[in-house]
A = this chain, B = another copy of it.
Amino acid sequence: MRGKEVTATYLIETPYPLERAAAIMAGEQSTGTFIAVPGETDELKELHAAKVLAIEPIEESITPTLPGVYLTKEMNNPVYRRAIVRIRFPLHNFGPSLPNLLSTIAGNLYELREFSGLRLMDIELPSEFANRYPGPKFGIAGTRELAGVHDRPLIGTIIKPSIGLPLDEYGPLVRMLAEAGLDFIKDDELCGNPPYAPFEQRVKTVMTEIERVADRTGKKLMYAFNITGDIDEMKRNHDIVYEAGGTCVMVCVNSVGFAGVSHLRGYTELPVHGHRTQWGAMSRCPLLGMSFTAYQKLCRIAGVDHLHTNGLNSKFAESNESVSQSIRDCLQPMFGGYQAMPVLSSAQWAGSAIPTYQSVGTLDVIHLAGGGILAHPDGVAAGVRSMQLGWEAAVQGVELEKFAESHPELQAAIRVFGS
């Protein structure tokens, strides 16, 4: 493994000279200690030290973004410099291990008092990671195959109410949604294996309805059952879904950890739908945590087939520019393949398709709408159809209002959701 490397890119903010700050980062995460110790030979450093590849200053600030910076006595009126720093870590320091990669490229860096901001922006990994971690098992092609949907986005919704729906109401709801022509349903991330609707019974109830509708229509809806839970519980839940004829499992990546997802990838027979709940805690401060570009690579290595990215004009704090970049990130091949299917959601409706398509130019997404489908004034089937029509308009390059003139489902959607 000698000669192979991992390169990590960071955004930093520091009152110290940039060269010194970058050297501290490299030292902390490889061969450094606060007092030189025996055994720390030049040969060892040559083989194992992380190396600063590049430092690109970008801007300065007179106030620190984060508290806790240590200022020396000489630092009167310090300037906080921001820069992009690239650091190269020898792979043979830790091997192609996802957990130990995290300890190395992130590790203690965020706590260093020489920094008032530090964010992991990107990672470049050698093929050893692809050899150890096979990545998304189904990806876009496998998902389309199972869902029977080609040449357009999968149109989906989320079971609402998020929480508390009694088991005896699941069946009729799912039947109605399946009959309405939906391609995809996901559990809410709040609903895993709650006492009021035990997982196994819920799966049976849901799959009975899905199979019945499929028998009649030839179309089998893909339902992402939220198997988020303890490690062994996820395995049991996965098996329950698979044995019941289900075609997708969902997991809250940050609630079970990358290692938990990777373990699931080891045995899954179904696409893994990755929800990123808690993502804001890792990303909302622009000078802390990590960028989605880095995060989604880690998710893909762990084996996620679908990954949530938010949608444009969502109810969340993320900008449309950031959402579009996230969608593009998931579709960028890793190791020559290994794509994840972006999942767009939050305040979505038929009118979301055109700006999304204009921005990212792809149909390889799962497009989820809650109210935008379920609250359509002409019913759920019209809600689903309005979403499909939105994408047809996008692909044809026709304005939404123009396209709606000959499509009443779209007209009604614009009237209710298009304010």
Question: Are B230 and A262 within 8 A (Cβ)?
Answer: yes
Question: Are B165 and A104 within 8 A (Cβ)?
Answer: no
Q: How far is B113's CA from A319's CA once the two chains are assembled, in angstroms?
A: 10
- By a CB distance below 8 angstroms, the chain B residues around A94 are 163, 190-192, 194
A288 interface residue per 8 A CB criterion: yes
- By a CB distance below 8 angstroms, the chain B residues around A189 are 103, 107-108
Question: Are B107 and A370 within 8 A (Cβ)?
Answer: no
Question: Are A190 and B113 within 8 A (Cβ)?
Answer: no
Residue of B nearest to A110 (CB): B280
Closest CB of chain B to A218's CB: distance in Å?
27
- By a CB distance below 8 angstroms, the chain B residues around A95 are 193-195
Question: Are A92 and B195 within 8 A (Cβ)?
Answer: yes
- Checking B35, B160, B316 against A375 with a beta-carbon cut-off of 8 angstroms, the contacting residue is B35
Question: Are A99 and B255 within 8 A (Cβ)?
Answer: yes
Question: Are B284 and A100 within 8 A (Cβ)?
Answer: no
Question: Are B255 and A230 within 8 A (Cβ)?
Answer: no
Question: Are B111 and A252 within 8 A (Cβ)?
Answer: no
Question: Are A103 and B192 within 8 A (Cβ)?
Answer: yes
- Checking B34, B173, B230, B258 against A97 with a beta-carbon cut-off of 8 angstroms, the contacting residue is B230
Interface size of A by CB at 8 A reads 102
Q: How far is B263's CA from A230's CA once the two chains are assembled, in angstroms?
A: 7
Q: Map CB proximity to B onto A173-204 as digits: 1 under 8 Å, 0 otherwise.
A: 10000000000000001111111100000000
A360 interface residue per 8 A CB criterion: no
A142 interface residue per 8 A CB criterion: no
Closest CB of chain B to A419's CB: distance in Å?
12
A17 interface residue per 8 A CB criterion: no
Name, among A38, A109, A113, A280, the residue most crowded by chain B CB atoms within 10 Å (CB to CB). Answer: A280
- By a CB distance below 8 angstroms, the chain B residues around A372 are 35
Which 5 A-B residue pairs are closest in the complex by CB-CB distance?
A: A257-B257, A110-B280, A68-B317, A35-B371, A48-B164
Q: A30-B162, A30-B164 are in contact. List 4 more A-B contacts (CB 8 A).
A: A30-B163, A33-B370, A229-B259, A280-B288
| 25 pairs from A and B in contact (CB 8 Å cutoff) | A29-B190, A30-B163, A34-B315, A34-B370, A35-B375, A36-B375, A37-B160, A39-B161, A39-B173, A47-B164, A68-B319, A93-B164, A95-B194, A100-B190, A100-B192, A100-B193, A100-B194, A102-B255, A106-B281, A108-B277, A108-B280, A110-B281, A232-B263, A256-B259, A288-B288
